[in-house]
Chain A
Amino acid sequence: MQPIIRVENLGKRYAIGRREHFVTMREMLVNAFTAPIRGLRALGRANGRADADGAAHVWALRDVSFEVAPGEVLGVIGRNGAGKSTLLKILSRITEPTAGRVELYGRVGSLLEVGTGFHQELSGRENILLSGAIMGMRRAEIMRKFDQIVAFAEIDDFIDTPVKRYSSGMYVRLAFAVAAHLEPEILLVDEVLAVGDVAFQKKCLGKMGEVARGGRTVLFISHNMAAIEALCTRCIMFSDGALVANGDPTSVILRNIAQCAVPGAGLADLTAHPGRRPGDTPTMTRVELANGAGAAAGAIRIGDPLEIRVSYRASRPFQPVLGAVIKTGYGAPVFSVSDRFCAQLADCEPRAEATIVCRIERLMLIPGNYSIDLWLGDARGDFDVVYDAIGVEVLPADLTGTGRLPPPNVGAIFCEAEWSIHDA
């Protein structure tokens, strides 16, 4: 199929040092003052390097090639500074590439920031006109959509008030409303969902879904993995300016999580853990968390399996009983698992040394940070307890098919439910 966007060997290099290749007296003066600062900045960049003449470059994007078919909704993910925003800036012609080529087969509209072109002194009405024109709408087009925009933003009463008197929520709603009514064949969206309150974010997500279902091609940058999973048909991932993954959203997101994992997370040494109950003899030596794929991970997606693997070493063999309490970041217990009640290991051989694995098939915790207490004992009682033995981060995933999850302030557990309606 003929692509609507074709990107070939695209590269963008930024100079983070000098900009010219001649030196004037003014330049020398400036250099003398800024050289130390520049040096520090160059050090801060992983892939910054200094030329012989002192100018440092950084490749924000390097040798990137991909194609997008019409109607696709392409998610773009990666850590901050991975090159996502640079890609969108090149596609929207804000900045020019250093190397490579892009072919676009349709009108491009970009939504890189909510409120682009808004002027504080102007009224809502005036800003709709101005911002629409800046984003590439013709005057007639703006007039035609004016009422829809006002209705979407829910600001009817304040339409003639200067936007500097708007609440931040109203401001963002109006700004997004204008942008949402752009109708390009290719829509570029960067992190706009990171603004506004939860309700408004949901509305934005809904609008994005609508755009996507309308058959338009969308490139969507977000750190909201649940939104990416819900909206996108395909996903690409950047790392240090290079395209490192390209495929179905779920598998790319899993790779992203693995890549973002902090080394050592998902693993804790328990021999000298500060959370041990005073007086207990250290018996548990180590705890490891693993995700569904069996790899150690400090972060698990909601709905994925979680394995808690606890190793112990004792002076004599015994039949171990393990318990774990999962608590919120504030220390409130959410649930516990313990073999004292399940007794699945009650008939096992006594061992002086072993690793106990507890597998939770579906971890239904609302995304956020959690902490785990561990209790080890035998049939008579617990003799080694470590509070806050290890932390686990639960990441969002698209469990509902809408990209939305309940907010954390209404409970830490997600429960699946069936809905129906009946006539009274």
Chain B
Amino acid sequence: MEQPSTAPDRAPTSDRATPRTKSHTVEAGAGPRLALVIESGRRRLGFELGDLWAHRDLLYFLVWRDLKVRYKQTLLGVIWAVLQPLLTMAVFAIIFGRLAHVPSDGEPYPIFVFAGLLPWTYFNQAVISASNSLVGNAALITKVYFPRLVIPGAAVCAGLVDFAISAAIMFLMAFHYGIHYGAGLLLIAPLMALTALFALGVGMWMSALNVKYRDVRYALPFMMQIWMYLTPVIYPLNFIPARWRWLLALNPLSGIIQAFRAAVFGRVFDWNGLAISCAITLAVLTCAGWAFRRMEREFADIV
């Protein structure tokens, strides 16, 4: 996944370690304040958090735009946000629950699969829309400066609204099936935050790659489909032979979905699995952030 360096395009500067852009203030009295130095060269590894913070309104408006625009000029409008997960759940419940008799940990299969689909669908949509976000906003990238991370970030955030709608449906279903919640339910919010961070990590990486290689756009949906079957979404974890389960644990979504189900069905949490998910999420975020920073400087030139 690692990008080759782009040495032919790189600056012939003597001082490559200099950060490309840095903001610092000079003491007042020495004329105008030095606001910004623009230079060629390698960037600092970390994101400029201050710069991101200064553009928080932009993040808000981009999310707001995505939501506003999403169901414009549709007959059913926001009902689609309800229909999509329900229909997916129905299809899976019939094919895997009724026909294939996939076990469901003793829960009714429809609500079992819905509880798995909820975080998965969010993750899937967030990653795919984030991966297309930079290319889709090429007009902005080539005309205005702002921290590029805001764009995939907005895509990841916008999906949370659909998730909230689906979650409401799930609670109605759980009520219908007579499932009693425990205190574990409180963990849903942090679990979703973790999912969002992981989606951001994968999504920003894919979005940056997509700027350079449009192959991502075509390959990613397949990868995501395969990923879904490698994640205990439509089957329980113990459906997998014990000697292979460690492999599943390397997939952060596996731990997240297990924990999500545990929260919904009031079961015991697998804290170790969740800890591994957190660690891998952090690792992916770091790598993705580093890759994004490296590719970011070329976005406007090649998008």
Contacts and interface: CB of A to CB of B under 8 A. Distances in A.
Contact of B38 (A4, A57, A93, A133): A93
Contacts of A119: 65, 69
Contacts of B178: none
Interface residues of B, number: 48
Contact of A97 (B11, B32, B65, B73): B11
Q: Which bucket holds chain A's interface residue count?
A: 35 or more
Nearest to A135: B144
A51 to B, nearest CB: 7
Contacts of B12: 98-99
Interface string B114-148: 00000000000000000000000001111111100
A82 to B, nearest CB: 18
B161 to A, nearest CB: 17
B44 interface: no
B143 A116 contact: yes
B91 interface: no
A104 to B, nearest CB: 4
* Residue of A93, A121, A129, A134 with most chain B CB atoms under a 10 A cut-off: A134
Contact of B300 (A94, A108, A110): A94
Contacts of A103: 34, 36-38
A99 B144 contact: no
B104 interface: no
Contact of B33 (A99, A105, A117): A105
B140 A134 contact: yes
A96 B145 contact: no
* Residue of B4, B61, B69 with most chain A CB atoms under a 10 A cut-off: B61
B273 to A, nearest CB: 37
B302 interface: yes
Nearest to B39: A101
B293 to A, nearest CB: 12
B212 A19 contact: yes
Contacts of A126: 65, 68
B83 to A, nearest CB: 21
B225 interface: no
Nearest to B13: A99
A335 B60 CA distance: 62
A116 B144 contact: yes
B40 interface: yes
A313 interface: no
12 contacts: A4-B32, A55-B8, A90-B38, A93-B38, A93-B145, A97-B40, A104-B36, A104-B37, A121-B68, A126-B68, A133-B58, A134-B146
Interface of A: 2, 4, 11, 13-15, 18-22, 26, 51, 55, 57, 70, 89-108, 110, 112-113, 116-117, 119, 121-122, 126, 129-130, 133-136, 138-139
